[in-house]
Amino acid sequence: MSVVMADLDLHGFTADGAARRLEDFLETHAVRSAGEVVRVITGRGAGSSGAPVVQQRVRELITGRLAHRVEDWAVDMGGGAYLLRIPR
């Protein structure tokens, strides 16, 4: 993608808390970082007692309800974060 302009670290959040923070973050950066890349750090889910909860919720949101806030996305190297391009 390109240079990351901002990070959101969701380590330690529940899935619901992470969803609220992600929505606020993307709303803020819709204006502040239009056309730029931001990183959403979810971790790889090592602290979850099962499948990675926050990582899965973020993917569901950026491909579903919050897709209008994301022009393009990719999994960051290492798999513990997403790179999101904010629409212009």
pLDDT digits (tens, 9 = 90+) for 20-79: 999 999 999 999 999 999 999 998 766 666 667 899 999 999 999 999 999 999 999 888
pLDDT in tens, 62-86: 999 999 999 999 999 888 999 999 9
Q: What is the length of the chain?
A: 88
Which domains, ranges and CATH numbers included, belong to the chain?
4-85 (3.30.1370.110)
DSSP code for 86: P
Determine if the pTM surpasses 0.85.
yes
C-alpha pair distances (Å), 50 with each of 13, 15, 37, 57, 88 = 16, 13, 30, 14, 37
Residue closest to 27 by CA, chosen among 82, 68, 75: 68
- 22 CB contacts (<8 Å, ≥6 apart)? 8, 10, 40, 58, 61, 62, 66
Q: How far apart are CA 6 and CA 10, in angstroms?
A: 13
